[in-house]
Structure 1
Amino acid sequence: MKVQFAKSVEAYVELVEKKLLKKEACNNLILGILERLKQNNEGAYYLGWVEKDKELLFPFMQTAPNNWVLPDLEQFVGEEVIRVAVKQIWDQGMEVPGVIGPEQYATIFAKEWEDITGNQPVVHMQEWIYQLDAVNQVQQDGELVIAQEKDLSLLIRWLQQFGEEAGEKITEKQAEAIARRNINQHSAFLWQVGKHYVSMANRSRTTKNGATINAVFTPDQHKEKGYATSLVAALSQQLLDSGYPFCSLYTDTSNPISNHVYQKIGYYKVGSAIVYSF
């Protein structure tokens, strides 16, 4: 077996896309990142794969300083394939702040990294991956609006609160950068009831056939009123109407409320992922 790293994003996409598209919704993270890198490949990134006899076995990647991302494949490739990849990452002196992927792969990765470095992995989050092909009818009291520059301070505040709820600290500087980017890309959406904004969501990365929704947040004073349900249903429908055959999103497996909300809208489980931090 041999580990290689691509220098060209386009060449890497050509190599791995067909294999990843076989479980497109489950691979929305790695496919979405690659789609983004095709548009803007500034910054450090590592596009790796394991091959045997010139046959692609296992792609993996990182946009530094973020977690390594592992794919969900139709057939299990075997523990040794993952170990070979991890050893090459170590040999090349690459940073490993964490890893995200299907549990069967991410756990092997984390154990091998611990064996090599002595750094003990910690489970940061376990997630369900959902897909939606059609939106169920849900009551929608309010209106979906796209966030504008005037909404910047609200998005910054809500993104920080979203991070606190998700266990991901987002500084004000980071929140501002995210909010500005989302506003500029016309991907940030708000749910408006009367004259007030009550919930937010973001159309995140896209793949060949799908769009991912993330950063769904409702402040405490507006919770338990169905606003997030209405928002995600309306945004999902808008994405389907714009030509995407499906939508996808991640949820925390330990949050029964959000999982119930998304299933009510029409989302169904297609996979899972685990996040390890070192």
Structure 2
Amino acid sequence: MSPDDWHLTENLDAFLARAEDFLQSRPALHTVQLTVTEALRTRGDAYGPDAPVFGLLEQAGEVRATFLRTPPRRLSVTPLTPEEADSLAVRLADLGHLLPGVNADHDTAISFAEAWQRHTGTIPTLHERERLYRLGTLTPPEPFPGGRGRVAGERDREQLMLWHREFVTDIGGTPSADNSSWADTRIAHERVTLWETPDGTPVSMAGRTPMVAGQIRVAPVYTPAHLRGRGYAGAATVEVSRAALAAGAAEVLLFADLANPTSIGLYQRIGYRPIADFAVYDF
């Protein structure tokens, strides 16, 4: 296998023309790339200062794997063999790409991180281990907190901006200086569900991605620290999962941090079942 088997482009339409069928062939394992490319397609050319980079591995006219990177985020890669991971690392290193990290299924992430270290001397650091879950039978947890779920609207804009900033900080990300576009997009498309107490106070949120290839992913789920342990996140997740099913999703997915056994136990009680483990490395 040659590193030149990897074809790179900054043109989203050109990438999807060759890679879309491959991505849709395994919508659960490819959920990140499906949802990111759908968001980019909806947004048009409003990428910011750094354009995304897309790539695909094509052999004998068949797409075998893909990657994308939307700066400043990490490289996202579909499952690769160690040989394929090595060839991608060589290709990107030879082109002078500076990567902040990689996010992929567990084995691919390890293979690419090791290859990147071999070819660039950069030492990878494990940032997070995640597990991808698929919803089976939705089962509200017991006891269920008092209150109700409702779709976030314009009056919740400041709340969503604050909670999104806090969520990104919680997971070790870098908060954006402007969370308004994140909130505005989700309000416009009714993609965040709030759980509120009987007096109408919002206490938790759960978002969902647009439906692509029949799958919707629940993200993010967030409850402020001082309100945790009361069942609010579970209630919000149940409500947003119901919304995803009502929208016609064949698969409802979510990622859970393996370092958070409380969340993992909650999602399993609700009815989510594990599909695959993922890993995130920083370079």
TM-score greater than 0.5 by the shorter chain: yes
Aligned to 1:234: 239
Could you tell me which amino acid in structure 2 is paired with residue 53 of structure 1? A
Give the match for residue 208 of structure 2. 203
How far off its partner does 1:20 sit? Answer: 3.0
Whole-Å Cα distance in 2 between the matches of residues 210 and 78 of structure 1? Answer: 25
Counterpart check, 1:124 vs 2:131: no
Match among 53, 58, 61 for residue 51 of structure 1: 58
Q: Do the aligned partners of 1:133 and 1:245 also contact (CA within 8 Å) in 2?
A: no
Whether the 8 Å contact between 2:15 and 2:54 is mirrored in structure 1 is yes
- Indicate conservation of the 8 Å contact 2:192/2:205, yes or no: yes
Q: Which shows bigger deviation, 45-54 or 254-263?
A: 45-54
Q: Which stretch of the first structure deviates more once superposed, 30-39 or 9-18? A: 9-18
Partner of 2:81: 78
Q: Is the Cα–Cα contact under 8 Å of residues 188 and 201 in structure 1 kept in the other structure?
A: yes
Instruction: Check whether the contact 2:195–2:204 (CA below 8 A) recurs between aligned residues.
Output: yes
Look up the equivalent residue of 1:131 and give its one-letter code: R
Over the matched positions of the two proteins, sequence identity in percent amounts to 26
Q: Tell me the equivalent position of 2:197.
A: 193
Alignment root-mean-square deviation, CA: 2.0
- Cα deviation per residue 1:139-192 (whole Å; 9 max; x = unaligned)? 363222122222222222222322332222425x24344223322332222111
SS where residue 64 of structure 1 aligns?
A: coil
- Alpha-carbon distance between aligned partners in 1 of 2:86 and 2:130, rounded to the nearest angstrom: 23
Q: Is the CA contact 1:49–1:85 (under 8 Å) kept in the aligned structure 2?
A: no
Secondary structure class of the residue paired with 1:228: helix
Q: In structure 1, which of residues 32, 39, 43 is the aligned counterpart of residue 42 of structure 2? A: 39
Separation (CA, whole Å) in 1 of partners of 2:173 and 2:24: 29
Matches within 5 A, 1:98-247: 98-138=101-141, 139=144, 141-171=146-176, 173-194=177-198, 195-247=200-252
Q: Tell me, which stretches of 5 or more residues in structure 1 are unaligned?
A: none
Q: 1:178 to 1:36 in 2, by over 3 A?
A: closer
**Cα separation, 1, equivalents of 2:251 and 2:146:** 24
How far apart, CA to CA, are the structure 2 residues paired with 1:153 and 1:252? 27
Once residues 6 and 117 of structure 1 are traced to their aligned partners in structure 2, the CA distance between those partners, rounded to angstroms, is: 22
Instruction: Determine if contact 2:150/2:195 at 8 Å carries over to the other structure.
Output: yes
How far apart, in 1, do the equivalents of 2:191 and 2:252 lie? 14
Residues matched between the structures, number: 273
One-letter amino acid of the structure 2 residue matched with residue 273 of structure 1: F
Secondary structure, aligned partner of 1:19 = helix
Work out whether residues 53 and 68 of structure 2, in 8 Å CA contact, stay in contact via their aligned partners in 1.
Answer: yes
